[in-house]
A and B are shown apart, each in its own frame.
Chain A
């Protein structure tokens, strides 16, 4: 792992110094994005299969009835989890979630939660019962930039989601009662800093090469940011990343909203 990472990283760093990427993209260019909403449409409330270049992620929405948080009575609950399944990479192993997957889920969660995409106050059933919305992100093929692929799959799955029918204090599985209300479309945009350049939508090889990484999730405002990786960013890097996140984010939003 380490040796492969070092060799591939070195190669990419030198390539970037020459102003090039291995797949000939511009530094500010996204890979091709394909979204298939309703990929698993029979059981899940909502789902979306996302291909970002060769990276493949399936997000599913499940809903249940539960209790609100003590500090947020009358508001629905959102829970986001990620599984980095061993099918997706020779370096993923079964077992409890590690820091990498916890961070991934929490970045996606913050982008969606803080944008107000899910109007939690509309998800109250009565004083004690609220809807719990689960976003489960199933990573199937890791070819880089899992954060953006997962964030896009999650909001696409939410936009696809239907409300389960709830009658006589019970959920009737397989029957639906309208759409899950979604009020905005937050889009995460991640750049990797390699040889003092910012590269949008890094591939796995570029992730081996990168120092710092910055994700900016936007709607009409900034909703979440996260710096990751070992390395530093300048104020200008951050400003450029925000600019890219707004401009590319609005392109991606059009694809997500269809």
Chain B
């Protein structure tokens, strides 16, 4: 996308919203806010607003997709029509189908799917307001929702992106940076094992720049992990409190 002449993404080392290059936006998570879903989470990440819900265990349909050795986890990523400036036509487009696939694979890498042969686990990610980084925000919320549902996992999935703006590598791009930036690297990890479950990249990066982007995204995801843990712990404390 072309930007107006003279528009700068960086001024004196600060970004449009005043953040430093290695600073992520504010992330807030609320656990268990949907009644019908087995587990749920609402997440705000800068101006992103995301809702994730889990339905399980489900009979797997269509039948031919059933797997007698493990559960099939399907994640559906969906953007609300009003979540972006120009209304998005409702329903799946090619972008959201690709994101649904890689989110499903990332979550399947964390959930102990071998515990649920023949079953289906359905995860919905609804983007209510989008401001760049929605796949990372959605995945982060989905993993909290799965934990809230009590489904056994090897670890939470924590996610964050990094990119390149005005020649500098920066973490967690916001909308303007994403539109006019030069590269984007979304990453998701299992924080305790430090292993990668989602990685994409587009743009032009040297190997050194990629290394820098990887490190910033990884460190960002570790910060997100702490916020996920705190949200889950406080939701459990409030459940305990109700019983007393």
Contact = CB atoms under 8 A, between A and B. Distances in A.
Interface of A: 1-2, 6, 71-73, 97, 99-100, 102-103, 105-106, 110, 113-116, 211-212, 214, 221-235, 237-238, 242, 246
Interface in B190-204: 190, 193-204
B203 A223 contact: yes
Contacts of B193: 232
A226 B199 contact: yes
Interface residues of B, number: 37
State the majority secondary structure of interface residues on A.
Answer: mixed
Contact of A234 (B67, B69, B101, B194): B194
B210 A222 contact: yes
Nearest to B110: A232
19 contacts: A73-B2, A97-B94, A103-B98, A106-B98, A114-B204, A116-B204, A211-B109, A212-B197, A222-B206, A226-B200, A227-B102, A227-B196, A227-B197, A228-B101, A231-B109, A232-B193, A235-B196, A235-B218, A246-B207
B164 to A, nearest CB: 11
Contacts of A71: 1-2
A173 B64 CA distance: 46
Contacts of A224: 201-202
State the 8 A-B residue pairs at the shortest beta-carbon distance, nearest first: A232-B195, A225-B201, A227-B199, A99-B101, A230-B108, A233-B196, A221-B204, A114-B202
Contacts of B202: 110, 113-114, 223-225
B88 to A, nearest CB: 14
Given A102-B101, A226-B102, 18 more contacts: A1-B64, A2-B69, A97-B94, A99-B100, A102-B97, A103-B101, A106-B94, A106-B95, A110-B202, A222-B204, A222-B207, A226-B200, A227-B199, A230-B105, A232-B190, A232-B193, A232-B196, A234-B196
Contacts of B97: 99, 102-103
A40 B227 CA distance: 56
A194 to B, nearest CB: 15
B167 interface: no
Interface string B202-241: 1111110010001000100000000000000000000000
A113 B201 CA distance: 12
A226 B135 CA distance: 14
Nearest to A226: B200
Contacts of A72: 1-2
A232 B110 CA distance: 9
Interface in B50-106: 64, 67-69, 94-95, 97-98, 100-102, 105
A234 B98 contact: no
A108 to B, nearest CB: 12
B138 to A, nearest CB: 16
Contacts of B64: 1
Interface string B24-48: 0000000000000000000000000
